[in-house]
């Protein structure tokens, strides 16, 4: 019975999502589904099924039309899915939901003391994104944290507070620069990997040129040459930067 409990409980969770029920009771149902089952493979299968269900459901939840002025409800939905994705171990989706909620609050409730986003929230989210390898979104979040660090009336701060603000600004700016650097390195590595794949593929195609396949046109060869030259320059730049480090 225990082995059959997980799919049954997950089906109950899916049913509640389909009826647009996004609350604490539903999270408890999800927790029960994830803890049901008698062995590790069954638990992993349930976790994977729950991830797929949540990813499909979140798209429907945010795409469904609703009444004008329902920002509060959308915040609650984003918070629900952030917690749900955290339960199933989907870090990327969890961070995406947290980011959606922060952006919505920043846009709609900047003058509301209860809902406005604090610099600590932006900074915490940015650090979480940085630690988990999402460098581009971390850089954006650090930029928002920096915006909140700058006081509207700097003349109202005493010397001690001004020094503290400067230290905080330098610290966040340093983390933002780190995120930008890591994002650029990741982009270069990705492009290099794609180049090596294309190079291997083109090498395989050269072996088959004598089998009656048409030759490349002059325009195609020109474009291929430009792309190859650009990729070689990119790789050379990467090797030079690695040597300097």
Rounded distance, CA 31 to CA 35, Å?
6
Residue with tokens 């492009």: 191
- Transcribe 162-178 into DSSP letters: HHHHHHHHHHHHHHHHH
| pTM of the complete model | 0.66
Taking the alpha carbons at both ends of the chain, their separation in whole angstroms is: 58
Q: Is 9 exposed, middle or buried (0-12, 13-18, 19+ CB in 10 A)?
A: buried
Contact predicate 180/139, CB 8 Å: yes
According to the model, what pLDDT value does residue 61 have? 87
DSSP 8-state class, residue 21? -
| Per-residue pLDDT tens listing for the chain (245 residues) | 344 467 889 999 999 999 999 999 999 999 999 988 678 888 899 999 999 999 999 988 887 665 545 677 888 899 999 999 999 999 999 999 999 999 988 888 878 878 889 899 999 999 999 999 999 999 999 999 998 865 544 555 566 777 888 888 899 999 999 999 888 887 666 666 665 666 666 555 544 444 444 444 444 444 555 555 556 556 666 666 555 55
According to the model, what pLDDT value does residue 140 have? 92
According to the model, what pLDDT value does residue 188 have? 67
Rounded distance, CA 206 to CA 212, Å?
12
- Transcribe 139-203 into DSSP letters: HHHHHHHHHHHS-S-GGGS-HHHHHHHHHHHHHHHHHHHHHHHHHHHHHHHHHHHHHHHHHHHHH
Contact predicate 101/79, CB 8 Å: yes
Distances (CA, A) of 23 to 26, 78, 84, 105, 211: 5, 11, 10, 19, 64
According to the model, what pLDDT value does residue 86 have? 95
According to the model, what pLDDT value does residue 215 have? 46
pLDDT tens-digit series, residues 213-241: 444 444 444 455 555 555 655 666 666 65
According to the model, what pLDDT value does residue 156 have? 53
According to the model, what pLDDT value does residue 203 have? 58
Residue with tokens 């920043």: 106
Rounded distance, CA 10 to CA 16, Å?
10
Cα 188 vs. chain centroid, distance in angstroms?
19
Residue with tokens 């969890």: 94
């Amino acid at each position: 019975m225990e082995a059959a409990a997980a799919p049954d409980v997950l089906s109950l969770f899916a049913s509640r999502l389909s009826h647009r029920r996004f609350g604490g009771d539903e999270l408890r149902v999800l927790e029960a589904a994830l803890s049901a089952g008698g062995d590790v493979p069954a638990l992993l299968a349930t976790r994977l099924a729950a991830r797929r269900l949540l990813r499909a459901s979140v798209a429907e939840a945010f795409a469904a039309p609703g009444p004008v002025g329902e920002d509060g409800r959308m915040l609650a939905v984003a918070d629900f899915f952030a917690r749900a994705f955290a339960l199933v171990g989907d870090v990327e989706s969890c961070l995406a939901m947290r980011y959606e909620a922060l952006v919505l609050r920043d846009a709609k409730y900047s003058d509301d003391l209860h809902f406005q986003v604090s610099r600590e929230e932006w900074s915490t989210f940015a650090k979480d994104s940085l630690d988990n390898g999402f460098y581009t979104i971390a850089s954006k979040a650090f930029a928002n944290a920096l915006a909140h660090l700058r006081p509207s009336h700097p003349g109202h701060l005493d010397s001690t507070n001004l020094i503290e603000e400067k230290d905080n600004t330098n610290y966040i700016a340093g983390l933002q620069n780190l995120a930008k650097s890591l994002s650029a390195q990741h982009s270069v590595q990705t492009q290099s990997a794609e180049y090596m794949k294309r190079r291997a593929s083109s090498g395989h195609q050269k072996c088959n040129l004598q089998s009656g396949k048409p030759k490349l046109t002059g325009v195609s060869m020109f474009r291929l040459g430009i792309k190859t030259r650009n990729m070689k320059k990119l790789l050379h730049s990467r090797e030079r930067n690695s040597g300097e480090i």
